[in-house]
Amino acid sequence: MKHMTINGIGGKVHYWISRPNNNFKGALVFTHGLTANHTMYERQVEYFKDDYVVITWDVPLHGLSIPYKEFSYEIAARDLNSILLQESIGKVCLIGMSMGGYPSQMFAYLYPEKVQCFVGIDTTPFRTEYYSRSDLWWLSKVKTMAKWFTDKTLRKSMAKSVAVTDYSYNKMIEMLKPMSKEQIIEQMDIAYGKLASEIRDIDLNCPVLILLGDKDKTGKVKQYCAEWAKKTGYPLHIIKNAAHFSNGDNAEQVNTEIEKFISSLSILINR
């Protein structure tokens, strides 16, 4: 994949793009989860790169997109739009894992004409009705709780909590390695804090697929996904033998689910 950058609203943003040599079926944008980076999707890139334009990126305040000033999900969505403008891509399919679902949904809200579909992987809806006051209060305390862990214990507990396979555990450890404990906690604090302050009643005017690991025990993700599917009618497909990092734990099923969903929509890119 070709490594590129844009001058984002709060700093330089790094992204990677792959274009097939022949005709392609569409463009896919993969947005990673909290404290991760673009390599979280390496198994998806390998699977889709021959048939689709594939974009992965280090979300502002993550990976190589550090430092970054005044992070917000709206700003991240606008930076993503700048990436698409630079690459002359008109329409995309969005795939967002966990926190990555939030800038993806914000992008769909801000630029509905550019979104062909959204696949949420172990993520939750960006709508106020799903979150109680106590939910948001606990999210605001993540920074305080994380400080009680030693550096080593924090990293291991984070990796263990999202994975059931050695691959996903080791990948999470690898993505955390370049960061200090303070940077990890900063990402957690800002990301969860921004969820509470930015969340709005977003209606997605595009086809949506929700994917959820059958062993996902992260917060109330499983409960939120079930309510999301029930209220909207969005299909909810369970990923077998997978925790929160389901696209790493069971990449084969996740890739197949994404491909079937997109194929069923007969999506072709509009460049």
Residue-level pLDDT at 140: 72
Are the C-beta atoms of residues 45 and 113 closer than 8 Å to each other?
no
Q: How far apart are the first and last CA of the chain?
A: 20
CA nearest 52: which of 80, 24, 14?
24
pTM over 0.75: yes
Residue-level pLDDT at 63: 96
Q: Which tops the pLDDT comparison, 195 or 2? A: 2
A 10 A CB-CB count for 241 gives 13
pLDDT at 98 over 50: yes
Residue-level pLDDT at 267: 52
In a 10 Å sphere around its CB, with 0-12 CB exposed, 13-18 middle and 19+ buried, how is residue 167 labelled? middle
Q: Assign domain 2-127+200-269 to its CATH superfamily.
A: Alpha/Beta hydrolase fold, catalytic domain (3.40.50.1820)
A 10 A CB-CB count for 154 gives 18
